[in-house]
Amino acid sequence: MASLYWKVKTYLEANSKTESEFDSNIVLQNDGSGDFIKTWNVSGLNKPTDSQLTSADTQATKDYNNSRVRKTRKKSYGEIGEQLDEIYKDIDAWKARIKKIKDDNPKE
Protein backbone atom coordinates (compact mmCIF):
# COMPACT_ATOMS: atom_id res chain seq x y z
CA MET A 1 0.00 0.00 0.00
CA ALA A 2 1.36 3.36 -1.02
CA SER A 3 1.74 6.29 1.36
CA LEU A 4 -0.68 9.19 1.23
CA TYR A 5 1.98 11.32 -0.45
CA TRP A 6 2.26 8.90 -3.38
CA LYS A 7 -1.51 8.53 -3.67
CA VAL A 8 -1.97 12.31 -3.79
CA LYS A 9 0.87 12.63 -6.32
CA THR A 10 -0.83 10.00 -8.51
CA TYR A 11 -4.19 11.78 -8.15
CA LEU A 12 -2.60 15.09 -9.17
CA GLU A 13 -0.92 13.60 -12.22
CA ALA A 14 -4.12 11.83 -13.28
CA ASN A 15 -5.76 15.26 -13.28
CA SER A 16 -3.09 17.08 -15.30
CA LYS A 17 -1.36 18.59 -12.26
CA THR A 18 2.23 18.14 -11.14
CA GLU A 19 4.05 17.22 -7.96
CA SER A 20 5.00 20.90 -7.65
CA GLU A 21 1.49 21.51 -6.25
CA PHE A 22 2.85 20.17 -2.95
CA ASP A 23 5.14 23.19 -2.59
CA SER A 24 2.57 25.49 -1.01
CA ASN A 25 -0.88 24.15 -1.89
CA ILE A 26 -1.02 20.83 -0.07
CA VAL A 27 -0.13 19.97 3.50
CA LEU A 28 -0.20 16.38 4.72
CA GLN A 29 -0.26 15.67 8.42
CA ASN A 30 -0.30 12.74 10.83
CA ASP A 31 -2.01 13.23 14.18
CA GLY A 32 -1.02 9.79 15.45
CA SER A 33 -4.02 8.01 14.00
CA GLY A 34 -2.84 8.17 10.38
CA ASP A 35 -1.95 10.52 7.57
CA PHE A 36 -4.52 12.96 6.25
CA ILE A 37 -4.73 16.01 3.99
CA LYS A 38 -4.69 19.04 6.29
CA THR A 39 -4.63 21.71 3.58
CA TRP A 40 -5.75 21.51 -0.05
CA ASN A 41 -5.49 24.65 -2.21
CA VAL A 42 -5.02 23.20 -5.70
CA SER A 43 -6.57 25.50 -8.25
CA GLY A 44 -9.18 23.81 -10.42
CA LEU A 45 -9.05 20.46 -8.63
CA ASN A 46 -11.16 19.28 -5.72
CA LYS A 47 -9.59 17.54 -2.76
CA PRO A 48 -9.61 13.78 -3.46
CA THR A 49 -12.12 11.57 -1.69
CA ASP A 50 -11.02 8.48 0.21
CA SER A 51 -12.40 6.41 -2.67
CA GLN A 52 -10.31 8.33 -5.22
CA LEU A 53 -7.19 7.88 -3.10
CA THR A 54 -7.88 4.16 -2.70
CA SER A 55 -8.26 3.76 -6.45
CA ALA A 56 -4.89 5.49 -6.93
CA ASP A 57 -3.12 2.99 -4.68
CA THR A 58 -2.01 0.48 -7.33
CA GLN A 59 -0.45 3.12 -9.58
CA ALA A 60 0.99 5.00 -6.60
CA THR A 61 2.67 1.83 -5.32
CA LYS A 62 4.11 1.15 -8.77
CA ASP A 63 5.37 4.74 -9.06
CA TYR A 64 6.95 4.57 -5.59
CA ASN A 65 8.65 1.25 -6.33
CA ASN A 66 9.96 2.52 -9.67
CA SER A 67 11.30 5.68 -8.03
CA ARG A 68 13.28 3.49 -5.61
CA VAL A 69 14.64 1.49 -8.55
CA ARG A 70 15.68 4.68 -10.35
CA LYS A 71 17.52 5.92 -7.24
CA THR A 72 19.32 2.59 -6.86
CA ARG A 73 20.27 2.54 -10.54
CA LYS A 74 21.48 6.15 -10.46
CA LYS A 75 23.73 5.42 -7.50
CA SER A 76 25.06 2.27 -9.18
CA TYR A 77 25.72 3.99 -12.51
CA GLY A 78 28.17 6.44 -10.96
CA GLU A 79 29.01 9.94 -12.07
CA ILE A 80 28.52 10.83 -15.74
CA GLY A 81 32.19 11.77 -16.15
CA GLU A 82 33.25 8.34 -14.91
CA GLN A 83 30.77 6.70 -17.29
CA LEU A 84 32.06 8.71 -20.26
CA ASP A 85 35.62 7.71 -19.40
CA GLU A 86 34.54 4.07 -19.14
CA ILE A 87 32.76 4.30 -22.51
CA TYR A 88 35.86 5.80 -24.11
CA LYS A 89 38.12 3.07 -22.70
CA ASP A 90 35.84 0.07 -23.26
CA ILE A 91 32.27 0.57 -24.41
CA ASP A 92 31.48 -3.16 -24.31
CA ALA A 93 32.44 -3.39 -20.62
CA TRP A 94 30.31 -0.30 -19.90
CA LYS A 95 27.32 -1.82 -21.74
CA ALA A 96 27.67 -5.06 -19.77
CA ARG A 97 27.89 -3.19 -16.45
CA ILE A 98 24.83 -1.04 -17.21
CA LYS A 99 22.85 -4.09 -18.38
CA LYS A 100 23.67 -5.90 -15.12
CA ILE A 101 22.54 -2.89 -13.07
CA LYS A 102 19.25 -2.78 -14.98
CA ASP A 103 18.76 -6.55 -14.74
CA ASP A 104 19.45 -6.47 -10.99
CA ASN A 105 17.03 -3.54 -10.50
CA PRO A 106 14.03 -4.08 -12.80
CA LYS A 107 11.16 -1.62 -13.02
CA GLU A 108 7.59 -2.83 -12.63
Where do the domains of the chain lie?
A: 4-104
> Does residue 1 contact residue 11 with C-beta atoms inside 8 Å?
no
Q: Compute and round to an integer the Cα radius of gyration of the chain.
A: 19
C-alpha 81, offset from chain centre: 26
Say which residue, 22 or 72, is predicted with more confidence.
72
Q: What is the mean pLDDT of residues 6-29?
A: 93
Q: Where are the alpha helices (DSSP H) in 2-79?
A: 4-14, 50-55, 57-77
Q: What tens digit of pLDDT does each residue of 30-65 get? A: 999 899 999 999 999 999 999 999 999 999 999 999
The predicted structure's pLDDT at residue 2: 87
Q: In whole angstroms, what is the distance from residue 83 CA to residue 26 CA? A: 39
With bands split at pLDDT 50, 70 and 90, how would you rate the model's confidence at 76? very high
The predicted structure's pLDDT at residue 108: 87
pLDDT at 97 over 90: yes
- pTM beyond 0.75: yes
pLDDT at 1 over 80: no
